[in-house]
Homo-oligomer: A and B are copies of this chain.
Amino acid sequence: MNIPKEATITDIANTLGISYSTVSRALANHPRISPGTKKKVNDLAGSLGYRPNNHARNLRNKTTHTIGVIVPKLNSLFMSSVIAGMEQVAQEHGYSLLISQSSEKFDLEEQSVKTMYNSRVDGLLVSVSYQTTDLKHFDLLFKKNIPVIFFDRCVANDDNFRIVIDNKKAGYDATTHLIKQGCKRIVHVTANSKLNVYHDRMAGFKTALQEYGLSLPDEQVIFTDLSFESAGKIAQQILAMNPRPDGVFVANDNCAAGCMVALQEAGIMIPDDIAFIGFNNDLVSKVVSPKLSTVNYPGYEMGIITAKNLINQLRGTEMLKIANSIIIRSDLVLRESSKKDHVPAT
């Protein structure tokens, strides 16, 4: 078990008979180091398998070149695209990503924030958990002026920097679409939470109903955790309603798909009896039968934009105190689940 020795700049300096500050500068491609020494240093470094010690570097520079990422769940097409985008940008700029999932639990999110703080991340990208209602647990970062950017999911009415879609508009468009398909009694299935995404989607939903003169009895808004597993219960609730609704707008695809499956098992025809529209354009929306209409928004792009903004902020390139939100484009994706009186296109 021989310990393979780790080469340092001192080693390079010694075998080359020069000082280690010269080596350091040569490695950093400092302008006033002779090309000759640069070459010698780089060659030797290569053959020695030298790798810079980031810890020493970070200790010295008080910067870690690490970006923390906290998300509620990793297992959606959307989230993994976001992260892929972030990773690309991070790599391009020499940053690493420290990723953590809160599993929709506030406690775990709080825990993760602490870990990130103790790991001295240069900045943090966050999509908050389902249970999060305020941002006190980020105070340690705020106090130290460590930039935090919230993307996709934020607590409503908060003025931190955020990168989101226009959830209200998307909710409005989805609902309007159902109305135009002839739906009169539309149910909205969402989470009982203060998050922008649910709050705003519902706001859009309500605006649309009002605008078209449709009433909204209390029972037509159903609160749930939006998991696939909970969908069975929602379906029961819908079946029990009298009169039965003719359209459902669910705040995510997983839950929408679960509802559809359960309702169809109970003999409901979709879209003829009840039209459905979901949110996220997740894989399930293309698999469930009939295919689920939904709202699409570009995760990969959102990841890129979010990461770029953070890095700009870290480099002081951008005056971000001015703008405090970026809105990303979203689109309605219409499929069979919401097209009344239409034969599926085959």
Binds B, one of A22-30, A48-56, A155-163, A210-218: A48-56
B79 touching A74 by the CB < 8 A rule?
yes
Q: Are B120 and A101 in contact (CB under 8 A)?
A: no
- Name the one of B4, B118, B346 contacting A265, with C-beta atoms under 8 angstroms: B346
Instruction: Tell me whether A74 and B83 are in contact (CB under 8 A).
Output: yes
The CA of A144 and the CA of B84, in the complex, are separated in Å by: 29
Copies per complex of this chain: 2
Which residues of A, 246-301, contact B by the 8 Å Cβ criterion?
A: 254, 257-258, 261, 264-265, 283-284, 286-289
Cβ contact within 8 Å between B96 and A119? yes
Q: Is the CB of A283 within 8 A of B254?
A: yes
A106 contacts chain B at the CB level, 8 A cutoff: no
| Inter-subunit contact B4/A118 (CB<8 Å) | no
A134 to chain B, nearest CB (A): 20
Among B51, B119, B284, B346, point to the contact of A117 (Cβ < 8 A): B51
Q: Shortest CB–CB separation between residue A305 and chain B, in angstroms? A: 19
Partner of A97, one of B55, B84, B100, B289: B100
From 327 to 346 in chain A, residues with beta carbon under 8 angstroms from any chain B beta carbon are 346
Q: Of B53, B64, B103, B119, which is within 8 A of A59 by CB? A: B53
Q: How far is the CA of A188 from the CA of B77 in the complex (A)?
A: 26
A69 to B289, CA, bound (A): 36
Nearest 3 A/B pairs, CB to CB = A75-B80, A74-B80, A55-B58
Q: Which residues of A does B touch, CB under 8 Å? A: 1, 3-4, 6, 49, 51-56, 58-59, 64, 73-77, 79-81, 83-84, 87, 91, 96-101, 103, 111, 115, 117-120, 140, 143-145, 228, 254, 257-258, 261, 264-265, 283-284, 286-289, 346
